[in-house]
Amino acid sequence: MTLEDAWPVFRLRLLTPRLELRPLRDEDIPHYVEAARGGLTDPALAPCGRSALSNAWDKSDDIAANSARWIWETRLRCRPEEWTVMFGVWSRGGGFLGSQDVGATDFAALRTVGTGSWLRRSARGLGLGTEMRAAVLLWAFDHLGAELAQTSAYDWNAPSIGISRSLGYGPNGEARCEGAPGVVERELRFRLAKEAFRRPGWQLEVHGHAAAAAVLLGPDQADTTASSAPPG
């Protein structure tokens, strides 16, 4: 038996023209930490004195242990009732660039996924954030059978908001939340119906979907999505 036999989610791979997305494994954690330590929030974007939640953990002395705990916890909680897949994002040449997650609660009934992501500083401004979000949306809509996707961003995070709008997301309300201790942030929420998705001009290559879907959705639901997924 291999590790992939025990945890078939590890078989999943999403390939775009420039990127490879695959679920984070333990040996990827050092690369994840090293990339995050470079900073996840550009100080030039945030208003003076503000800081995103991510900026708190990426500057923490405990970033390595906290990152490992978070990755392990998402696996532990992964079952059909509620799941999150934390994809590592690599360039097709092999370098680690960041993380893209996609998750759902009561997916069988709601057919809704949520996403979150970050890119290392050196990989920004190249359209990679759009490409990796499009990858998980294509997988969710065309292979898992999702009907709706949701995401959010702080009101000052123009790059993230721009990615959402470019892919067809519309506004879905807002919330007030604590970004850094004592700092209240305005969080904008977005939603994307499958039929409103602005699809990229390239085809997503998916490997290992059926085995992963059996874990995430349960065997019965996985069989249904497999029969409706596009070929390839």
Domains and CATH numbers, the chain: 3-143+199-228 (3.40.630.30)
Token output for 19: 């990127």
- Of the pLDDT bands very low, low, confident and very high (cuts 50, 70, 90), residue 232 is very low
Average pLDDT over residues 133-138: 98
Q: Which of 84, 94, 79 is nearest to 28 (CA)?
A: 94
Phi, psi dihedrals of residue 215, rounded to the nearest 5°: -80, -45
Neighbours of 6 (CB within 10 A): 8
Which whole-number Å values give the CA distances from 50 to 124, 154, 190, 230, in the listed order? Answer: 21, 11, 22, 44
Pick the closest to residue 188 from 156, 214, 211, 224 (CA basis).
156
Least confident of 106-120, 126-140, 211-225: 211-225
For the whole model, what pTM was predicted?
0.89
Task: Supply 205's token pair.
Answer: 């290559």
Q: What is the mean pLDDT of residues 27-51?
A: 72
For the beta sheet containing 82-91, the strands, ordered from the edge strand earlier in sequence to the opposite edge, are: 170-178, 184-193, 148-154, 112-119, 96-105, 82-91, 19-23, 13-15, 205-207
Res 194: pLDDT: 98
Average pLDDT of every residue of the chain: 88
How many C-beta atoms lie closer than 10 Å to residue 90's C-beta? 18
Is residue 92 scored above 70 in pLDDT?
yes
Q: What is the pLDDT of residue 52?
A: 44
Alpha-helical segments (H) within 38-157 = 53-58, 63-76, 107-110, 128-139
Asked if residue 28 has pLDDT above 90, the reply is yes
Q: What's the rounded Cα separation, in Å, for the pair 156 and 6?
A: 42
- Average pLDDT score over residue span 56-83: 86
Q: What is each CA distance from 213 to 9, 61, 139, in whole angstroms?
A: 8, 36, 11
Phi-psi group of 106: left, alpha or beta (phi > 0 → left; psi -120 to 50 → alpha; rest → beta): left
Cα–Cα distance for residue pair 20/205, rounded to 1 Å: 10
Q: Which is nearest to 108 in space by CA: 216, 231, 228, 229?
A: 216
